[in-house]
Amino acid sequence: MTSGLETTFRHLSKTKNDAAATLLLAALDSDHAQIAEHALTALLDRRGDAGSSEILSRLHTMEESWIEIIRKRPGRLTGALRNAIVGSDDQQCENACHAISEFRDYDLMPVLINAAEDSANEKAGLMASTVLELAEALYDELAQPRDYKQRRDPHLVRKSISSSLEASVARFAKHQRTEILEAFLILTARDNVVLRKILSDPYHEAYLATAELLTKSERRGVMRLVLAFLDDRQAPSAAMTILSRRGDQAFVSHLLKKIGFEPTSVAKNNLRRIESMPWITESYGLLDEFDDAGQHAAVQLAIHCHLPQDDTLNMLEHVLTQGTPGGSVAAAAGLAKYSGSKANHLALDALDHVDPRVQSAVIPHLRQRGIPGVMNRLLALLESPHELVRNAARDQLVEFKFERYAEAFDNLTDDVRRTTGQLVKVVDPRARALLSEEFGVASRTRRLRALAMTEAMGMVVRLESEVIGLLGDDEHLVRVEAARALGGCQSEAAIEALRDCLADRSVAVQEAAEFSLQEIGRRVARAAEEARQEQTS
């Protein structure tokens, strides 16, 4: 039976006999669902005006299965939809607008726009709303990967209807349809000539309505347009003002995602033009709702805008003390842009933060602040239990790195050699290994300097075995300095090595060894006397 039905309805869909349409229209009311659906399909395939009009008149009562049949045959109702838009039947018109939106019949956009602009048309508001719905539907298609099952290219569709929207916006003073203006904003690009003309002229008939929509519309296409101006090297001032005034959560969320870890160079230049952003400086309720990434981006946004310094510092203080861990780290780093007593106070607070990441973020800009005692604070941080903090402190004490000390050593006074050497020993954990390497170089001058540096840094005891090794050096001057340096040790190994040097072929080495042995003896004697006195006291 099914095969017979299909054959019959296939014939009815193709025959040129007008009586077929009458029969099919009657079959739409059949009590048998299968017959009614076959009739619907056949009428759509015939594309007759009478059949299409009848289908459209029933649209508001159709079941979803019928709607799906129509959806799979795009364009079959276009003629009937066009007639209904310009016709006088209210139900047909409402059904047509619903169908245009439901089936995304973008070809009818120009017809809808003309009808919406007609002040005498009682359904003009419905037409305008349909224009807006179509624009948003097309934006959704543009934002998603191309569906190649659909023949139409959404980018070409956008191009084809943009001229109609632009022309209508140019006539905004006459029709005042904000729906059409919003549809235009959803689909247009930031460099559109009509849009630039509006934003550059506060007296333009569409300026106030455009600014209102760009400020308040939560449609994704409009928010995308506002955000796009951040990447515009010649962004209109109005666009930056609008961006700064928006504080709705949806927009701010998109804004922070766009800012990301750090704004682009073009975005930074545009942000400098912003002198007010209430959601950042006047209330922190919205700010507190964001996660690490969001608060980090909010900090980046605040420090790159040209906001009053006190407002920005208050915001950074809030994030530093009450923000997420990632936000607090960003706030500590962001303080680098600001000076003055409040900024210094916040920097010191960050240095005492429980999170070592916050401490390490503030350390890089501590010394430039000229805070009294900051050098001692940095040196104390070298003993932090957190490697992250220790490394950050060392990076800020770069002048106390071994290489720089060695390079400048010959030009330093004895006092500076000692004080700086002590700092190098604390700051640079590589000092011992690098000194040990210097003992083995071919240059006599560098070996001698290594011995002098070892003494100045107070590291003779830690490098005792290496210094003892130099007592066998081919250069007698090196042996002299090594013997003299060992006077600061008192281990059995050092004493035995010095005694061996008393037989050295160089008199100068013998004398240096004897002097060191005497020095060790005096030191041992003093220590023994001090110990005896402590026992008797």
428-476 pLDDT, tens per residue?
889 999 999 999 999 999 999 999 999 999 999 999 999 999 999 999 9
154-194 pLDDT tens trace = 889 899 899 999 999 999 999 999 999 999 999 999 999 99
Residue 494 · residue 466 · CB < 8 Å: no
pLDDT for the residue 113: 95
One-letter identity of residue 528: A
CA angle 123, 65, 8 (to 5 degrees): 110
* 219 in any annotated domain: no
Say yes or no to pLDDT of 149 above 70.
no
Cα gap 170→129, rounded to integer Å: 19
Say yes or no to pLDDT of 18 above 70.
no
Residue 238 · residue 211 · CB < 8 Å: yes
The residue ranking higher by pLDDT, 237 or 73, is 237
Say yes or no to pLDDT of 388 above 70.
yes
pLDDT for the residue 525: 87
Minimum mean pLDDT among 45-54, 250-259, 319-328, 423-432: which range? Answer: 45-54
Say yes or no to pLDDT of 150 above 90.
no
Q: Which residues in 249-262 are b (16+ Cβ under 10 Å) and which e? A: eebbbbbbebbeee
pLDDT for the residue 374: 86
pLDDT for the residue 148: 61
Q: Tell me, what CATH number does 467's domain have? A: 1.25.10.10
* 186 in any annotated domain: no
Can you tell me the mean pLDDT for 212-237? 96
Minimum mean pLDDT among 354-363, 510-519, 521-530: which range? Answer: 521-530
What is the DSSP-derived secondary structure letter of residue 352?
T
> 256 vs 290, 297, 305, 314, CA distance in Å?
10, 5, 13, 19
- Domain of residue 459 covers 412-536
479-510 pLDDT tens trace = 999 999 999 898 999 999 999 999 999 999 99
Residue 486 · residue 494 · CB < 8 Å: yes
pLDDT for the residue 64: 80
* 520 in any annotated domain: yes
Confidence of residue 102 (pLDDT cuts 50, 70, 90): confident
Say yes or no to pLDDT of 43 above 60.
yes
pLDDT for the residue 127: 93
> 163 vs 143, 168, 169, 200, 223, CA distance in Å?
20, 9, 10, 20, 21
Torsion of CA 489, 492, 497, 502, to 10 degrees: 90
Can you tell me the mean pLDDT for 403-423? 91
pTM: 0.77
* 342 in any annotated domain: no
Residue 303 · residue 333 · CB < 8 Å: no
pLDDT for the residue 1: 44
* 298 in any annotated domain: no
Say yes or no to pLDDT of 270 above 70.
yes
Supply 447's token pair: 């070996």
Domain count, the chain: 1
Minimum mean pLDDT among 39-48, 61-70, 508-517: which range? Answer: 39-48
pLDDT for the residue 147: 67
Specify burial of residue 177 (Cβ count, 10 A radius: 0-12, 13-18, 19+). buried
Please measure the distance between the N-terminal and C-terminal CA atoms of the chain and give it in whole angstroms.
Answer: 124
* 283 in any annotated domain: no
Say yes or no to pLDDT of 19 above 70.
no
Residue 432 · residue 463 · CB < 8 Å: yes
Can you tell me the mean pLDDT for 522-529? 86
> 432 vs 144, 424, 453, 512, CA distance in Å?
61, 10, 11, 24
Can you tell me the mean pLDDT for 206-226? 96
Cα gap 432→428, rounded to integer Å: 9
Specify burial of residue 121 (Cβ count, 10 A radius: 0-12, 13-18, 19+). middle
* 507 in any annotated domain: yes
One-letter identity of residue 208: L
Cα gap 427→401, rounded to integer Å: 7
* 418 in any annotated domain: yes
Supply 394's token pair: 């060392």
Residue 113 · residue 164 · CB < 8 Å: yes
Residue 398 · residue 404 · CB < 8 Å: yes
Residue with tokens 């800009």: 365
Can you tell me the mean pLDDT for 381-408? 90
